[in-house]
């Protein structure tokens, strides 16, 4: 098979879930592409990305880096539908896009696209004007319609695609993402606490981690923290970690975020992230909508109990390994945190269930299923 793979998501300034998905899936695909001829596509003024992939030393892999400004290249695809990526890469049987933006191939080339969520449809009112324009230019529906097969990262996302666009069941395969290859729980607690101390965190804490945007619903948890019984607030801090993207959630500029006990530490390195998960008393995930929710698996991998929203893919991913709350019910989060703090048996139960549930998510299985999808189209 002549296989093209889009690795442009590895260029993200603040790597998030899609970057992690691309990197981890590529790593797991290595044993499955031994008989394929693989072309890695990237663009922009930056350096070639092949060295950032596990394919760096493979003889059957080469990279094609289009050294033109991304804005120029993306504009050409958005407005003129040129060039086609298979024309740039040469002979291709199939092109795989781990994400949909600015994907354009000819009718001669099979196309597989991973869809992570449809937040840009259901929560478009939370997007900045710039992001609304960006999604208009990327034409996600056209890309999805052109694809020979869509990979949904959860059954919730598959249902969303079918209900929103009317796609048939046969067009979409569900392939779960994998859990961290190296369990977060392997980091010693002493090391985790030391790294947290370097971030200015000295007391036990509840953790919120992820891209800081309105859809993540941080205001609910900040308000819930404010309403917690004084005895709990005096013993536990609230740590907010992650880069601000799209537009800052309004709460971050209010007096609430400066409430005593709240720490906003910004974007953290992979090692700092592991330390935060390991040291946290619980992980709180109040999102209004998720296509999957990588941080949920990271918390399970770290042995950290979870309180999360009861919407979209979250109940599917956590099953019984989390306390689930209405994302708009502040008091429900207050009650959940209070229960978790006061019940050692509840904490232990959630940690045990999380350790069991996270074993259901394997990058090796994801890679095998993904490559089987490629082969089924040829």
| Whether residue 192 sits in one domain with residue 168 | no
| Whether residue 341 sits in one domain with residue 222 | yes
Coil, helix or strand for 11? helix
| Whether residue 148 sits in one domain with residue 30 | yes
CB burial string 273-304: b at 16+ within 10 A, e below: bbbbbbbbbbbbbbbbbbbbbbbbbbbbbbbb
The pair of three-digit structure tokens given for residue 236, joined into one six-digit string: 């536990």
Question: What pLDDT was estimated at residue 47?
Answer: 57
Domain tally for the chain? 2
| Whether residue 167 sits in one domain with residue 214 | no
pLDDT tens sequence for the chain (378 residues) = 999 999 998 887 777 789 999 999 999 999 999 999 999 998 887 655 555 666 767 889 888 888 888 889 889 998 888 899 999 898 899 999 999 999 999 999 999 999 999 999 999 988 888 888 989 989 999 999 999 999 999 999 999 999 999 999 999 999 999 998 787 888 998 999 999 999 999 999 999 998 888 899 998 999 999 999 999 999 999 999 988 765 544 545 454 556 789 999 988 999 999 999 999 999 999 999 999 999 999 999 999 999 999 999 999 999 999 999 999 999 999 999 999 999 999 999 999 999 999 999 999 999 999 999 999 999
| Whether residue 211 sits in one domain with residue 350 | yes
233: which residues sit within 8 A by CB, 6+ positions away?
225, 261
Instruction: Give the number of other Cβ atoms within 10 Å of residue 245's Cβ.
Output: 17
| Whether residue 298 sits in one domain with residue 169 | no
CATH number at residue 49: 3.40.50.2000
Name the residue with tokens 């399970």: 300
Angle at 242 between CA 240 and CA 245, to 5 degrees: 120
Question: What pLDDT was estimated at residue 53?
Answer: 65
Instruction: Give the number of other Cβ atoms within 10 Å of residue 326's Cβ.
Output: 14
Domain membership of residue 224 as a residue range = 184-360
User: Rounded CA gap, 144 and 290, in Å?
Assistant: 19
CB burial string 158-186: b at 16+ within 10 A, e below: bbbbeeebebeeebbbbbbbbbbeebbbe
Coil, helix or strand for 291? coil
User: Rounded CA gap, 119 and 179, in Å?
Assistant: 23
| Whether residue 169 sits in one domain with residue 188 | no
User: Rounded CA gap, 131 and 346, in Å?
Assistant: 41
Q: In 3-state terms, the chain is what percent helix, strand and coil (to 5)?
A: 50, 15, 35
| Whether residue 252 sits in one domain with residue 200 | yes
pTM for this entry: 0.93
| Whether residue 164 sits in one domain with residue 65 | yes
| Whether residue 89 sits in one domain with residue 195 | no
Beta strands in the chain (DSSP E): 2-6, 37-43, 61-66, 94-97, 110-115, 149-152, 172-174, 205-209, 237-241, 262-266, 282-285, 306-309, 323-325
| Whether residue 223 sits in one domain with residue 139 | no
Question: What pLDDT was estimated at residue 65?
Answer: 87
**Sheet-wide strand order for 2-6:** 61-66, 37-43, 2-6, 94-97, 110-115, 149-152, 172-174
| Whether residue 326 sits in one domain with residue 238 | yes
The pair of three-digit structure tokens given for residue 213, joined into one six-digit string: 């945007």
Q: Burial level of 34, CB count in 10 A (0-12/13-18/19+)?
A: exposed
The pair of three-digit structure tokens given for residue 351, joined into one six-digit string: 């940690």
């Amino acid at each position: 098979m002549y296989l093209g793979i889009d690795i442009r998501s590895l260029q993200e300034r603040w790597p998030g879930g899609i970057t992690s998905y691309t990197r981890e899936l590529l790593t797991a695909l290595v044993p499955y592409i031994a008989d394929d001829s693989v072309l890695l596509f990237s663009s922009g003024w930056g350096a070639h990305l092949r060295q950032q992939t596990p394919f760096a030393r493979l003889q059957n892999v080469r990279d094609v880096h289009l050294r033109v400004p991304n804005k120029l290249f993306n504009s050409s695809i958005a407005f003129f539908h040129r060039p086609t990526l298979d024309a740039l890469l040469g002979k291709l049987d199939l092109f795989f896009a781990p994400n949909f933006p600015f994907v354009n191939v000819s009718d001669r080339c099979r196309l597989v696209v991973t869809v992570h969520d449809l937040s840009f449809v259901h929560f478009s009112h939370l997007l900045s004007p710039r992001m609304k324009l960006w999604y208009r230019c990327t034409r996600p529906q056209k890309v999805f319609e052109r694809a020979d097969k869509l990979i949904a990262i959860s059954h919730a996302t598959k249902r969303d695609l079918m209900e929103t666009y009317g796609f048939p069941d046969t067009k979409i395969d569900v392939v779960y993402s994998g859990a961290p290859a190296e369990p977060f729980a392997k980091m010693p607690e002493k090391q985790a606490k030391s790294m947290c101390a370097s971030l200015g965190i000295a007391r036990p804490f509840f953790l919120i981690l992820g891209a800081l945007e309105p859809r993540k619903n941080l205001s609910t948890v900040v308000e819930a923290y404010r309403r917690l019984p004084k005895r709990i607030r005096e013993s536990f801090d609230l740590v907010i970690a992650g880069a601000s993207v799209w537009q800052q959630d309004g709460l971050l500029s209010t007096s609430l975020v400066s409430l005593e006990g709240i720490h906003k530490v910004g974007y953290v390195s992979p090692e700092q992230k592991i330390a935060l998960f390991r040291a946290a008393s619980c992980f709180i995930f109040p999102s209004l909508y998720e296509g999957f929710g990588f941080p949920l698996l990271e918390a399970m991998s770290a042995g950290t109990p979870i309180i999360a929203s009861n919407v979209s893919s979250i109940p599917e991913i956590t099953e019984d390994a989390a306390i689930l709350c209405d994302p708009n019910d502040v008091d429900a989060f207050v009650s959940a945190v209070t229960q978790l703090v006061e019940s050692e048996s509840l904490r232990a139960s959630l940690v045990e269930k999380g350790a069991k549930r996270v074993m259901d998510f394997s990058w090796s299985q994801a890679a095998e299923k993904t490559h089987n999808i490629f082969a089924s189209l040829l």
